[in-house]
Amino acid sequence: MEATQIRRTVEVEDRHWWYRERRAILARELRRISTPGRALDIGAAGGGNTRVLIEYGWDALAADYSETAVELARERGLQAVHADARDLPLPDMRFDLVLAFDVLEHIEEDHKAVRELVRVLQPGGTALITVPCDMALWSAHDVASCHVRRYTRDGLNSLLTGEGLIIDRMWSWNVLLRPVVAWRRRRISGSDVTEMPYLANMGLGAIIAAERYLPLKSLPGVSLIVRAHRPRSSGECAPA
């Protein structure tokens, strides 16, 4: 992600409906983990999600390939390190939780990034991963955001399990607004991350929040979310 896009993201993410709901999803997942520990936020940008980790008691480190992102995260008072997701400058089995929110789609060698994620994760540790899905939604937004691909469920499953993760749950997100997203992105020439009028932002936020209570997680959406873990032992297998 280019420096300009990172700065734009940091400027709008506290207010923007998409980022706010994604932080709410992260908070719900964190509440399912009984004891906070060490957490790594890969591709943290300015650290919006890192701050959620800290709020829930985690000792959190932000990591990003962009020097601009690292500077912005540090300006927010966060621990941050410059890092390539394919070659993290961090010890083996260091973290109890690793986030990779909208990271893998930026990396040609995504399998290397997943391998590194697994390497720094403790046995039994949790990985939370989000990616954009469905190449049918490919648009100028993806190009402007420096995406390499959008994922299918099967493709993401194969990628993660192939590098040793056990998937606990995979679900679709941004299902209700998928038609709106598809329509809008056919009509824009750049990134969809922009400051929005107050009423539109509130309305879209209310719609996306409704997905918390509706049985939509198996339907096509705009993103996929995965909760997975590193096997606790060499003999642990995925559930049948």
Give Dmax over CA atoms of the chain in angstroms: 53
- Domain membership of residue 235 (yes or no) is no
- Domain membership of residue 181 (yes or no) is yes
pLDDT of residue 239: 56
pLDDT of residue 2: 67
pLDDT along the chain (240 residues), means of 10: 74 91 97 94 95 98 95 95 98 98 97 98 98 95 92 98 98 96 82 82 96 96 98 70
Domain count, the chain: 1
- Domain membership of residue 138 (yes or no) is yes
Beta strand extents in 102-159 (DSSP E only): 121-132
- Domain membership of residue 79 (yes or no) is yes
Q: What is the span of the domain harbouring residue 192?
A: 3-229
Structure tokens at 172: 């679709």
Place of tokens 């927010």: 76
Q: What is residue 122's three-state secondary structure?
A: strand
pLDDT of residue 240: 47
Place of tokens 């991350």: 193
- Domain membership of residue 239 (yes or no) is no
pLDDT of residue 185: 85
pLDDT of residue 1: 55
Q: What is the CATH number of the domain that holds 29?
A: 3.40.50.150
Structure tokens at 199: 């009423």
Question: Comparing C-alpha atoms, which of 97, 59, 131 is closest to residue 229?
Answer: 97
Structure tokens at 34: 């009984």
Beta strand extents in 95-234 (DSSP E only): 95-101, 121-132, 166-173, 223-229
CB burial of 204-236 (b: ≥16 within 10 Å; e: otherwise) equals bbeebeebeeeebeeeebbbbbbebbbeeeeee
- Domain membership of residue 237 (yes or no) is no
